[in-house]
């Protein structure tokens, strides 16, 4: 099986790198919501994608999760 984002070998639909990035993006949402007050999931993902400090794998995951 191959990662749906990069084509690397995967045991599910994501490679180990993208799966780890997905877990970090999902976990960080609670921290962002706490720091920024109420923030919608889609707004959070948009912020993740636009943040210059965000790594490429996390940006790709944010794009995937945001449905864009």
- Tell me the pLDDT tens digit for each residue of 24-37: 999 999 998 988 88
pLDDT in tens, 10-56: 989 999 999 999 999 999 999 989 888 888 999 999 999 999 999 99
10-31: b (≥16 Cβ within 10 Å) or e: beeebbebbbebbeebeeeeee
* Long-range Cβ pairs for the range 52-58 (8 Å, 24+): 55/21, 57/17, 57/18, 57/20, 57/21, 58/21, 58/24, 58/25
Question: Which pLDDT score, from 0 to 100, does residue 37 have?
Answer: 84
Is residue 68 pLDDT above 80, yes or no?
no
Q: Structure pTM? A: 0.87
pLDDT at 54: 95
The residue extents of the domains of the chain are: 16-66
* Measured distance CA(51)–CA(61) in Å, rounded: 13
């Amino acid at each position: 099986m191959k990662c749906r984002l990069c084509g690397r070998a995967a045991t599910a639909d994501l490679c180990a790198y993208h799966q780890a990035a997905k877990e970090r993006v999902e976990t960080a949402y609670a921290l962002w919501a706490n720091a920024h007050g109420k923030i919608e999931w889609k707004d959070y993902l948009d912020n993740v994608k636009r943040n210059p400090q965000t790594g490429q794998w996390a940006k790709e995951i944010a794009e995937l999760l945001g449905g864009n």
